[in-house]
Chain A
Amino acid sequence: MRICCCVKRVPAPGARINVTADGQAVDVAHLGFTTSPHEECGVEEAVQLTEEHGGEVTVLTLGPPEAAEQLRYAASVGAHHGVLVPTDGSPWDPQRTAVALTSAIRNLEESDGPFDLLIFGNESADSGGFQVGIRVAVALGRPIVGGIKGIEIDGSTVRARRQTDAGFEVYEMSMPAAVGVKEGINLPRYPTMRGRLASKRLEVAELPAEAPPGGQSMRLLHRPPDVTSETVILGEGAGAAPAVVDVLADLGVL
Chain B
Amino acid sequence: MLLVILEHDRGAMPEAAREALTFGRTLAERMGVPMHAALIGSEDAALVAEAGGHGATRVHTVVHPVLEDFGPEAWGEVIAAMVGGLEPDAVLAGGSDRGNEVLAQAAARLDIPFVANCLDIDPADWSITRIQWGGSLLEDVTVSAEVPLLTCGLHAVAAEAAQSPTEPAVDVFEVDLDPALSRTVVRDRVVLSAGVTLSTAPVVVGGGRGVGSAESFAPLEELAGLLGGKVGCSRAVTNNGWRPHADQVGQTGTRIAPEIYIASGISGAIQHWVGAMGSKHILAINLDPEANIVQKADWAVIGDLHEVIPAIAAEIRSRR
Contact = CB atoms under 8 A, between A and B. Distances in A.
In the complex they form, do A and B come into direct contact, defined as C-beta atoms under 8 angstroms apart?
yes
A32 interface: no
A200 interface: no
A232 B299 contact: yes
A234 B142 contact: no
7 contacts: A13-B133, A125-B133, A130-B101, A164-B9, A232-B300, A236-B302, A248-B227
B225 interface: no
Interface string A117-144: 0000011011111110011011100011
Interface in B104-125: 104-105, 107-109, 111-117
A170 B294 contact: no
Leading 8 A-B pairs by shortest Cβ distance: A215-B113, A238-B311, A131-B104, A237-B303, A138-B108, A241-B311, A130-B100, A170-B188
Given A128-B133, A145-B72, A232-B298, A138 B105 contact: yes
A221 B139 contact: yes
A138 B109 contact: yes
B316 A135 contact: no
Interface SS of B by simple majority? mixed
Interface SS of A by simple majority? mixed
Contact of A161 (B73, B117, B190): B190
Interface of A: 13, 15-17, 19, 26, 93-95, 98, 122-123, 125-131, 134-135, 137-139, 143-147, 161-162, 164, 166-174, 180, 183-184, 187, 214-224, 231-245, 247-249, 251-254
Given A135-B104, A241-B314, A247 B114 contact: no
A19 B260 contact: no
Given A131-B108, A144-B184, A169-B70, A253 B260 contact: yes
Contact of B301 (A93, A134, A214, A236): A236
B141 A218 contact: yes
A116 B255 CA distance: 30
A236 B284 CA distance: 12
A231 B284 contact: yes
Interface of B: 9, 70, 72-73, 76, 97, 100-101, 104-105, 107-109, 111-117, 127, 131-145, 151, 183-192, 199-200, 202-203, 227-229, 254-255, 257, 259-260, 278, 281, 283-284, 289, 294-304, 307-308, 310-312, 314-316, 319
B136 A127 contact: no
A217 B186 contact: no
Given A130-B100, A168-B190, A236-B302, A173 B109 contact: no
B138 A221 contact: yes
Contacts of B319: 245, 249, 254
B184 A183 contact: no
Contact of B259 (A16, A128, A214, A251): A251
Contacts of B136: 13, 16-17, 223-224
B190 A167 contact: yes
Contacts of A128: 116-117, 131-134
A247 B103 CA distance: 35
B227 A254 contact: yes
B248 to A, nearest CB: 12
Contact of B187 (A125, A166, A171, A252): A171
A172 B278 CA distance: 30
